Amino acid sequence: MRKPPALIALLGVFASLAALVPLGYLLFRLGAGADAALTELLRPRTLELLLNTTLLVVSVTATALVIGFLQAWLTTRTNLGFGAVFAVLSTLPLAIPSYVLAFSFTASFPWFSGFWASWLVMSLATSPYVFLAVSAALVRTDSSSEEVARTLGLSKWQVLVRVTWPQVRPAAAAASLLVALYTLSEFGAVAILRFDTFTRAIYNAYRLSFDRTAAAALAVVLVLLTLLVIWFERRYRGDYQVTRPASQKRVRILLGKTKPLAALGLLLVAFAGVGVPLYSLANWSIIGSSTADVSEIFEALVGSVTLAAVAGVVITVFAVAIALWVVRYPTGLGRMVDYSVWANHALPAIVVALALVFLGANLTPWLYQTTALLVLAYLILFLPNALGTMATPIAQVPKSLEDVANSLGVKGNRSIFKVVLPIAAPGILAGAALVSLTVLKELPATLLLRPTGTETLALRLWMATEELAFSQAAPYALLLVILGGLPALALNTQARKALSEVGN
């Protein structure tokens, strides 16, 4: 067993300690009112919330998995055509905050609410996670084993299930974990669509009764649920399949008669996930009379881009370190770091933010309401997003290549920089883009922790919708979508390039 380099260990342990802050805060709050907490948990309502939440998480995860996998497979492995267009459309919902998506649906279809509404909106909002991870995995692996399977007489469907699926299973599982935890922690969309989950109850405890003990009690249940989900994912992820970097001729599967059907399916999903919100936004600009100030828009744009870029870089550095630790130097401590980082990923952002308010104002006033503390909050909130996307590409770099590099005179751990990171670079970039996108949309933590005066697009959008000033809100929402679309576009261009290089 190799020991991890000091830098990796240092970054990993720091991230782990940071992740423990919200957990420590919750225990502190619970300790302050154990009786009240117990009463809160023993309500029949807690059970109802548990059932609702489980139902939503399971159904959304399954749906996002199916949608995202099919999108990825159709655009990278079949002769569907317009691959680039469909790929961008599949990624784009990522750029739309889920509360905007929910809001645009209720604005267009007033009857839209409850479980099925939440299921649809959350599935649309989260399937890009699966799409990105699975298409990246598909681009990295070559199709020779699939061809072999075909020549051995398996049907297209059998090849898909028995050969292609196992190759992308770890990536799909990691993405599903993100989807599940995203759904657990989502507040805005389920509140607008009026479906009661744990997170909504936690927000209500803060916002209605200002009851921090009850909120903490519910949040701890959420953490336990998270651990269960993570355990489940680790158990059923399957092994990483180390593959040769795709180097051979790639054969696309001919869809035949199902082609129009597949195209129609993708178009429908794109219509719901991108078309409806864009239509709604356009509508906002038309009906309203309020106008957004250009200099305010610019200020918010700069604020958003800066925060997303800084947080993107910081989180990527930590995520690469932890992924390397887990994959290349598997130690017990590394596993613990990995678990602790994931453990609070389902906590609603407001809990993490309040924990840092408590810590910042009372212990480190010099850090309070600074960009540094805000970035720390983003690190706690979104490190798992980066890890989930980067772990697979890093794990898929063949160990033998590193050995070759070592035998050729590259000393020890330098092979990480010379071999592992360059090969895994597309996956790492994908993770970085994903995290920056998520930071771009973030609202509750930004609201509580930003330096006074810092503006972001998401903040402005929220303020405008609170005031019912929809035409003022429209440009902010539109900019968010465009800004989010750019990394999505870049990611896909890169994937396309990789595909064309290996031939068609």
Partner 1 sequence: MFKPLAALTALVAALTLTGCASAEQEANPLPTESVEQKDSLVLYSGRSEDLIQPLIDMFTAETGIKVEVRYAGSAELAAQILEEGENSPADVFLSQDAGALGAVAKATLFEFVPTETLAKVDRIYSDLEGYWVGVSGRARILTYDPAKVTELPTSVFDLAEPKWKGRIAIAPTNASFQAFVTAMRVLEGNEVTSLWLSAMKENAVIFEKNGAILDAVDAGQVDAGLINHYYWHAKAKEVGAENMKAQLSAFAPGDLGNLVNVAGAGIVNDNSASRAFMDFLLSTSAQTYFAEQTAEYPLIPGISIIPGLTPLSEVKSPDIDLSNLDTLGETLELIRAAGLL
Q: Which stretch binds partner 1 (CB under 8 A): 177-185, 263-271, 301-309, 354-362?
A: 354-362
- CB-based contact 327:394 (threshold 8 Å): yes
* Residue 382 exposure: Cα atoms within 13 Å on the Cβ side: 28
Specify the DSSP class assigned to residue 78. Answer: B
Nearer to partner 1, 111 or 157 (CB): 111
Q: Which stretch binds partner 1 (CB under 8 A): 244-252, 257-265, 350-358, 425-433?
A: 350-358
Widest CA span in the chain: 69
Distance CA 339, CA 334 (A): 9
In angstroms, the Cα distances linking 106 to 92, 280, 468 are 20, 10, 14
How distant is the alpha carbon of residue 91 from its chain centre?
12
How distant is the alpha carbon of residue 417 from its chain centre?
26
User: Position 414: which residue type?
Assistant: R
Residue whose C-alpha is closest to residue 240's, from 177, 323, 169? 169
Nearer to partner 1, 355 or 480 (CB): 355
Smallest distance from partner 1 to CB 49, Å: 12
Q: Does 332 bind partner 1 (CB under 8 A)?
A: no
Contacts with partner 1, 90-109, as mask; x by CB under 8 A: ----------------xx--
Q: Does 287 bind partner 1 (CB under 8 A)?
A: yes
Distance CA 375, CA 382 (A): 10
Question: What number of other Cβ atoms are within 10 A of residue 489's Cβ?
Answer: 15
Q: What are phi and psi of 195, to 5 degrees?
A: -120, 130
Nearer to partner 1, 222 or 390 (CB): 222
Nearer to partner 1, 147 or 211 (CB): 211
Q: Which stretch binds partner 1 (CB under 8 A): 159-167, 202-210, 249-257, 330-338?
A: 202-210
Residues 406-445 that bind partner 1 (CB under 8 A): 444
- CB-based contact 185:86 (threshold 8 Å): no
Nearer to partner 1, 369 or 371 (CB): 369
Smallest distance from partner 1 to CB 306, Å: 19
How distant is the alpha carbon of residue 153 from its chain centre?
38
In angstroms, the Cα distances linking 117 to 56, 113, 204 are 11, 5, 21
Residues 20-49 that bind partner 1 (CB under 8 A): 45
Q: Determine the size of the site formed for partner 1 (CB under 8 A).
A: 40
Distance CA 117, CA 111 (A): 9
Residues 362-391 that bind partner 1 (CB under 8 A): 362, 365, 368-369
Smallest distance from partner 1 to CB 364, Å: 10
Q: Which stretch binds partner 1 (CB under 8 A): 72-80, 187-195, 230-238, 272-280?
A: 187-195
Contacts with partner 1, 73-92, as mask; x by CB under 8 A: --------------------
Specify the DSSP class assigned to residue 347. Answer: S
Q: Which stretch binds partner 1 (CB under 8 A): 132-140, 144-152, 186-194, 479-487?
A: 186-194
Q: Does 210 bind partner 1 (CB under 8 A)?
A: yes
Q: What residues make contact with partner 1 under the rule CB under 8 A?
A: 45, 106-107, 110-111, 191-192, 194, 204, 206-210, 212, 287-290, 350, 354, 357-358, 361-362, 365, 368-369, 444, 447-448, 452-453, 463, 466-471
